[in-house]
């Protein structure tokens, strides 16, 4: 089968986020299929963008054919990003016949976060009545923008995006979502006959590229453990959405033998570092970010892990953060401070679920874990590991993905 995935922001291990098209595509190639990923040459999500000289440039990455399209460059999430999106879609539309003739897809997956690429996918598919089109939902646009940024649904841009999403629900052959309960939202819009499948994000098991953590982090955590500290680690982006202010505030209530370690980078890192210095907080350590290939071994240094999110009604459709599955893969128990329609800590029995935005509850959960025997902690960690292998291994997810496409 010739599978085409249109994902504006598609990356790879080399280029960085986003990873799903690459990991899914690579597994589909292993299953004997031809996979073409069409992406923009410029994305603010990647750690590195490809350097291309032509309007269209091919590159093979682990058997997956990438077609990078030259687009309007941008750096931040501002007006230039909109121009970048417009140039990507315009180039695709203008060259749709050439794209069809060269790659002859049997199925096209429109998967760019925003829903505008569905119409382009349908236009490519018009050259052969047998081509099927699938819409893959990452974020629920425009609902995510409306609820997270408090934008009126009557806003012109929101209504425009909603029309594009409605077009997708009315015209595609299948809808795949990385969140479990988006079908509820689709039915709220009045679409009751959509061919819907939930296929979450996943993990790469037994990654040959896995590396040891930086010496600085190993030494810092080792010293804490020599002092008899129970290490509660957060690893990821330092942003408001990850509820790190709640973790910071929990330090005041922590038992003296518990140490918070925050690993990563982001917009709030400098502010948190300054706050720790100004308030002379002794039981929080902030350490440098690590490479993706170092994440698993870094997480293994901890006794337990923290993941949180701010309250939002958007989570009534579920969450599917990659960090959750990375945590599970490390075989470490977690404190799960996310209020959503799905609760991975409970489903996998791999930690303690607590309310969002409750710093005292974080401290109480950390104390509860610190009092457990090592065998109990290990069992919680193994529960998470076994759960993620069964439900979030990209080898298995790719087969489910293929079932939809076929």
Burial class (CB in 10 A: 0-12, 13-18, 19+), 406: exposed
Burial class (CB in 10 A: 0-12, 13-18, 19+), 101: exposed
Report the mean per-residue pLDDT for the chain. 95
The pLDDT assigned to 239 comes to: 87
Confidence band (pLDDT; 50, 70, 90) for 293? confident
The pLDDT assigned to 146 comes to: 94
Confidence band (pLDDT; 50, 70, 90) for 129? very high
Q: Is 231 helix (H, G, I), strand (E, B) or coil?
A: strand
**pTM score, two decimals?**
0.91
pLDDT digits (tens, 9 = 90+) for 68-99: 999 999 988 788 999 999 999 999 999 999 99
User: Residue 292 pLDDT more than 80?
Assistant: yes
User: Residue 143 pLDDT more than 70?
Assistant: yes
The pLDDT assigned to 234 comes to: 98
Confidence band (pLDDT; 50, 70, 90) for 148? confident
The pLDDT assigned to 240 comes to: 86
Residue 81 near residue 44 (C-beta atoms within 8 A) = yes
Cα angle 246-248-254, degrees, rounded to a multiple of 5: 95
pLDDT digits (tens, 9 = 90+) for 257-271: 999 999 998 889 999
The pLDDT assigned to 110 comes to: 98
pLDDT digits (tens, 9 = 90+) for 170-203: 999 999 999 999 999 999 999 999 999 999 999 9
Confidence band (pLDDT; 50, 70, 90) for 34? very high
pLDDT digits (tens, 9 = 90+) for 226-244: 999 999 999 999 988 899 9
Confidence band (pLDDT; 50, 70, 90) for 204? confident
53-81 mean pLDDT: 92
Rounded CA gap, 406 and 400, in Å? 10
User: Residue 10 pLDDT more than 70?
Assistant: yes
Confidence band (pLDDT; 50, 70, 90) for 136? very high
Give residues with Cβ within 8 angstroms of 321, minimum separation 6. 201, 307, 309
Find tokens 């979450």 and name the residue: 200
Return the bridge partners of 235, or none. 263
pLDDT digits (tens, 9 = 90+) for 302-319: 999 999 999 999 999 999
Q: Is 17 helix (H, G, I), strand (E, B) or coil?
A: coil
User: Residue 206 pLDDT more than 80?
Assistant: no
The pLDDT assigned to 164 comes to: 98
What are all long-range contacts of 73-76, with beta carbons under 8 Å and residues at least 24 apart? 73/42, 74/42, 74/44, 75/44, 76/44
User: Residue 208 pLDDT more than 70?
Assistant: no
């Amino acid at each position: 089968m010739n599978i085409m995935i249109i994902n504006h922001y598609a990356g790879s291990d080399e280029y960085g986020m986003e990873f799903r098209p690459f990991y899914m595509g690579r597994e589909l190639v292993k299953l004997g299929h031809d996979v073409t990923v069409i992406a923009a040459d410029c994305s603010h999500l990647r750690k590195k963008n490809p350097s291309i000289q032509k309007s269209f440039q091919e590159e093979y990455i682990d058997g997956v054919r990438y077609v990078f399209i030259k687009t309007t460059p941008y750096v931040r999430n501002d007006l230039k990003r909109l121009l970048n999106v417009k140039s990507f879609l315009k180039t695709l539309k203008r060259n749709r016949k050439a794209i069809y003739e060269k790659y002859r897809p049997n199925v096209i997956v429109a998967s760019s976060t925003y829903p505008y690429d569905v119409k382009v996918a349908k236009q490519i598919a018009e050259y052969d009545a047998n081509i099927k089109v699938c819409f893959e939902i990452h974020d629920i646009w425009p609902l995510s923008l409306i609820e997270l940024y408090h934008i009126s649904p009557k806003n012109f841009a929101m209504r425009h995006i909603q029309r594009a999403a409605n077009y997708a629900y009315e015209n595609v052959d299948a809808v795949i979502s990385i969140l479990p309960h988006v079908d509820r939202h689709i039915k709220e819009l009045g679409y009751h006959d959509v061919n819907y499948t939930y296929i979450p994000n996943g993990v790469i098991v037994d990654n040959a590229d896995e590396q040891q953590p930086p010496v600085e982090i190993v030494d810092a955590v080792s010293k804490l453990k020599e002092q008899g500290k129970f290490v509660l680690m957060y690893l990821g982006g330092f942003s408001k959405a990850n509820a790190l202010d709640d973790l910071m505030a929990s330090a005041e209530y922590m038992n003296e033998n518990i140490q918070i370690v925050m690993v990563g980078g982001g917009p709030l890192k400098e502010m948190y570092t300054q706050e720790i210095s100004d308030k002379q907080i002794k039981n929080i350590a902030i350490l440098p970010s690590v490479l993706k290939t170092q994440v698993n071994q870094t997480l293994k240094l901890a006794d337990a892990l923290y993941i949180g999110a701010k309250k939002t009604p958007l989570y009534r459709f579920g969450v599917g953060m990659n960090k959750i599955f990375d945590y599970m893969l490390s075989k470490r128990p977690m404190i799960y401070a996310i209020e959503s329609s799905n609760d991975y800590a409970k489903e996998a029995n791999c930690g303690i679920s607590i309310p969002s935005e409750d710093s005292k509850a974080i401290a109480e959960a950390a104390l509860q874990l610190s009092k457990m025997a090592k065998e109990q902690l290990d069992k919680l960690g193994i529960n998470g590991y076994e759960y993620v292998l069964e439900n979030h291994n990209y080898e298995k997810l790719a087969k489910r993905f293929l079932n939809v496409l076929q």
